[in-house]
A and B are shown apart, each in its own frame.
Chain A
Amino acid sequence: MEHLLWLIPAFPLAGFLVLALTGKSMPPVWVAIIGAGTVSLSAIFTIIIGITFLSLPPASAHYVQTLWTWMEISDFHPEISLYLDALSLVFAFVITFIAALIHLYSVAFMAFDKDYSRFFACMNLFVCSMLLLVLADNLLLLYLGWEGVGLCSYLLIGFWYEHPENGYAAQKAFIITRIGDTAMAIGIFVIFYQFGTLLIPDILAKAPSLWQPEASMATITALLLLAGALGKSAQLPFQTWLPDAMAGPSPVSALIHAATMVTAGVYLIARMHVIFELSPTVQLIIAAIGAATLFIAGFSALTQYDLKRVLAYSTISQIGYMFLALGLGAWTAAIFHFMIHAFFKALLFLAAGAVIEALHHEHNMFKMGGLRTKLPVVFLTFVIGSASLIALPLISSGFYSKDQILWFAWASKNGNPLLWLIAISGAFITALYTTRMVMLTFWGEVKTEVDRLPGKLITIPLIILAFFSICVGFIELPHNFGSLTLFSDFLHQVLPETLLKSTASGEVFFQLLGALATFSGIYTAYILWYKQPEHLEKLKRNEMLLRLYSFWHSGWGFDQLYQTLIVRPIVFIATINKNDVLDKIYQGITLISVALYRSLSFTQSGSLRWYIMGLVVGAIIILGIQIML
């Protein structure tokens, strides 16, 4: 199976090439077949390879396939080489499987777009880059995938380029993530000179012997890599690009800005976990950033009108949970939450896309309502996705993944009560904004008529994703009931176990508290936005709360802050220096020369007596000098 690894990214790449070169002149049916077909083939191959990997585990616990040497300069020789182990298998499976469903959905969703083939070409290129990112065996190839997904994200956010604001949203996403990427590039330089290689397995093997725990080099390296991860995963302080990224078509939001690309940061940290473990300070920073992000984004989600923006903030918030888990050293819990989140968030975005499409591109939830009966399949699947998002106890997958993180926030070695408190308040807020979203969209009176019902190609992917949103959680059950650890056992081939405090006990109690947070969130939202809206009216009269509301709505003022502190000064300097101040020096020289020649040419007046005068004066001076000497 090892030698077939290259096919996984090669299929979508081939799809991209064919569509990019000939897509314009191809009938739409063929575009759809190539676009969705190549990704589906890739998914099938991943599953086949995955089954082989599980049933006949290789002795080294990984597959490697080297395609060619990228470049070779003395001891720097990165290769184009693919590496599949438990961690990359989970990512590759989630990427290809969800991407295949989303491509299928897009066949119908994008059918009336004039740039049908461009859409599929970009999506295919994205899948290829994302697969290279997770399958790379060295940091340089990983960086290729990393930047490649950034490019595709840019192209797809700005897909409807006629509206300049879409273009600016795309630019914003690219530039903000590039800031993180640049830090990461510097991190790669440091790693190369420390380890003499960019090969990931070698780095991880050498790190513990090269660095003491808390070594300053370990901390610097970890921080630089972390900056890259924060940029891509839209965590504090880089989170501002993600809500604007919703300008792209809904399948793009589902695939790139929810299920896969934004979790690349989670992948990077998990992949390089040895380096992060050597620096507990950075781990604490990761946990703190995760906690802060999940909290901040939760409140912002609570105040949005735009259905997709709610989901965007909720994505930021959920990735915050994953970062919290990574910071706690709960590696497998983070990856588990990544996988569950990928299913339910893809589902929610696709369902939201179906709603928006059915309501003639209406994004505002306050203009929706009563869709429960009008769009039954969409409603049902959306509710299932939401249940998973709010971690509805026992029946939803989200419960099993989030419950783990809450427990580790309290009980793991790096955990502390404050982190736990933030995490559980986050769970309450999640339940609150999710229920609000469901209430506003599907209950209440009908405000906008449905003008197009979603077809089979739209509903089938929804149903499949809904099935997974419920069932995947059952492969990993808590210790106190079921105690099934299929997923974490599999990942423990690559990732270390989570260490618990010796005093940790009472898991049931914390599970109950978690459930309580969820239910009280649901109940509060039910009261405020459905049962007794008069309470909400009362709250709206409070001046303080209203101000807080608009503060949260604008994403805690980060955009304005960056505008004033960074963007405006740079633009200002650039604008006043448009004509290049250094050129003024040369212009000055020119002006002086011109002035000199003007004044000299003034002496050439054509008047004979001036010339004679000049001759005489000159002669006197020369004679004078001769006499003096």
Chain B
Amino acid sequence: MILVWLIGLLMGGGLLAFLVGQWNKTLPRWISLYTLIIGIIALISFWIEHYEAINIGSMEPWLIDFQQDWIPSFGISFHLAIDGLSLLLLILTFFLGILAILCSWKEITEHHGFYHFNLLWILAGISGVFMAMDLFLFYFFWEIMLIPMYFLIGIWGSKNREYAAYKFFIFTQASGLLMFISILALYFTHAQSTGRYTFDYFALLGTVMAPQTAFWLMMGFMIAFAVKLPLVPFHTWLPDAHSEAPTAGSLILAGLLLKTGAYGILRFVLPLFPEVAKTFAPWAMLLGVIGIIYGAILAFSQTDLKRLIAYTSVSHMGFVILGIFAFNELALQGVVMQLLTHAISTGALFIMAGMLKERLHTRQLDEMGGLWFQMPKMGAIAVLFAMAALGLPGLGNFVAEFLILLGAFKSSVWLTVPATIGLIFSAIYSLRMIQKVFLGPIPETAPISDFSWREVFIMAVLTISIIWLGLYPQPIINTARPMINQIEHLFPTEFKNQTIK
């Protein structure tokens, strides 16, 4: 029941913020903040409550299940359930939600009510995606997160916002439709072989189908998720959307929306089509490696701070694909870590880019430089997160990338080596960013203020999280373990002992 309640809370909070926003400017953000705080408290206490059970290592991955008929004649039900992975991603959703509200505290100057309505509804859609166990319901939430995001970019974005919003919408919508076709085809294929019409995830698992059919169905899902993730060559919507969106929008895009793609692959593509996934794996890994290097080189050449950070996401998400299709426990644990740590580190960088834009009114690297002198606190934190982005040990991203590479090395030595070389490129773009923004000659401009207390709070929370994940990631690993073991069992003999010996 807590699951329905969480989505209801977000949607209700959003509506309330919208209504209140008609006559008060500050109340919507307080309402949103409280909504999210209530949600995260509920989630964390749920986690603590179930952590013992998770830790014992029970093989049953599902923590809670809720099912209610919705449109029974079509076999559509309102079926929500979460396992460790969903729980972690839900906590992340509420966590970044709170930061999104805090970082748009001053940035948003118009339509407060509608803004917070959109923000909370995106989060509701994302939460739904992480919980839905009915494919029709899943598609429904998939669409819910899209439309408010379109408004968020299109209304509160910067100069080129309309182009970016259209591009984002068309890419996601077109690929989403492919997924919908696949869902329908799966629905009918399943009915053909069993005579039962249902969209239920658990029923559809293990549907018997011809390999050819399975391949095309998988591609439908895969393309939708690859666009979201994004996988090269479907990534070109991302830099535009990220750089034009308001800070909170970039934060949610990078931190959460991209994660729905990875989640989709883990939850649907692998369990529904294990055989095809196996044959497709080398190609997916290759695309991942291309993404790692291509994204990093593009990030290096950017002159717009937010575009630079956006391309680093392409590079980091390449690691995710590489890890998922390595099909072993180390790599998959790395993937889960990467989903969380990338959200935190890239989120932090986007938030700082937003803070810089509020102060300097520019995103161009050439118009920055020497800012350390006036903003040593921001400089230090920026160095920390640039180091996180380049995978410095001791910070969360290292654990994630190291595990992914270590796992992938078992599956394919020759793809892992170039992926590891990506670590050199990530050093190049990260250091260039720090150099261009914070180092160099001190500019003779009007005084720029360093962090305010609100900003100190945001960055402190992010900093503590990334260090915690870097030095003691065990709670995350334990929570994700049952789900990862299940996936690993789908691919029992895959690549065993193909390592160099």
Contacts and interface: CB of A to CB of B under 8 A. Distances in A.
Given A69-B474, A168-B435, A186-B420, A577 B298 contact: yes
A492 to B, nearest CB: 32
Interface in B406-465: 406, 409-410, 416-417, 420-421, 423-424, 427-428, 431-432, 435, 438-442
Nearest to B297: A574
A451 interface: no
A45 interface: no
B399 interface: yes
A29 to B, nearest CB: 21
A71 B409 contact: no
Contacts of A168: 435
The 6 closest A-B pairs by CB, nearest first: A144-B393, A574-B301, A161-B439, A583-B236, A189-B409, A578-B301
B287 to A, nearest CB: 12
A261 to B, nearest CB: 16
Contacts of B333: 73
Size range of the chain A interface in the assembly: 35 or more
B103 to A, nearest CB: 22
B474 A189 contact: no
Given A182-B421, A193-B409, A570-B297, A174 B392 contact: no
19 contacts: A20-B380, A69-B474, A70-B471, A158-B439, A162-B373, A162-B440, A163-B441, A167-B439, A171-B432, A186-B416, A189-B416, A217-B501, A574-B297, A577-B297, A578-B302, A578-B303, A580-B239, A582-B235, A582-B236
A185 B300 CA distance: 23
A580 B236 contact: yes
Contacts of A118: 376
Categorize the interface residue count of chain B: 35 or more
B51 to A, nearest CB: 15
A294 B312 CA distance: 40
Given A72-B477, A582-B236, A577 B301 contact: yes
B477 A580 contact: no
A457 interface: no
Interface string B278-317: 0000000000000000000110111100000000000000
B442 A73 contact: no
B329 interface: yes
Interface in A118-175: 118, 140, 143-144, 147-148, 151, 154-155, 158, 161-164, 167-168, 170-171, 174-175
A163 B439 CA distance: 8
Interface string B375-400: 01000100100010000111000110
Contacts of A170: 431
Contacts of B409: 186, 189-190, 193
Interface in A168-202: 168, 170-171, 174-175, 178-179, 181-182, 185-186, 189-190, 192-193
A72 B392 CA distance: 19
A182 B423 contact: yes
Interface string A554-593: 0000000000000000100111011010110110000000
A74 interface: yes
A271 B376 CA distance: 39
A68 interface: yes
Interface string B148-165: 000000000000000000
B499 A193 contact: yes
B472 interface: yes
A366 interface: no
A162 B354 CA distance: 24
B405 A574 contact: no
A368 B233 CA distance: 60
B48 interface: no
Interface string B359-378: 00000000000101100100
A206 interface: no
Given A161-B372, A193-B409, A73 B297 contact: no
Given A80-B471, A193-B410, 10 more contacts: A70-B473, A76-B330, A140-B393, A161-B439, A162-B441, A167-B435, A189-B405, A189-B409, A575-B301, A585-B233
Contacts of B301: 574-575, 577-578
Nearest to A166: B439
B399 A71 contact: yes
A24 interface: yes
A155 B438 contact: no
Contacts of B474: 69, 71-72
A175 B424 contact: yes
B302 A175 contact: no
B487 interface: no
- Residue among B232, B420, B477 with the highest chain A CB neighbour number at 10 A: B420
A178 B427 contact: yes
A99 B501 CA distance: 44
Nearest to A117: B376
Contacts of A171: 431-432, 435
B500 interface: yes
B393 A148 contact: yes
B451 to A, nearest CB: 12
Contacts of B410: 193
A167 B440 contact: yes
B376 A24 contact: yes
A151 B424 contact: no
A76, A80, A574, A586: residue with the most chain B Cβ atoms closer than 10 Å: A574
Contacts of A69: 474
A175 B471 contact: no
B403 interface: yes
Contacts of A570: 297
Nearest to A585: B233
B233 A74 contact: no
B441 A185 contact: no
A118 B372 CA distance: 12
Given A76-B406, A161-B438, A185-B405, A580 B298 contact: yes
Interface in B304-350: 329-330, 333
A147 B393 contact: yes
A47 B214 CA distance: 67
A158 to B, nearest CB: 6
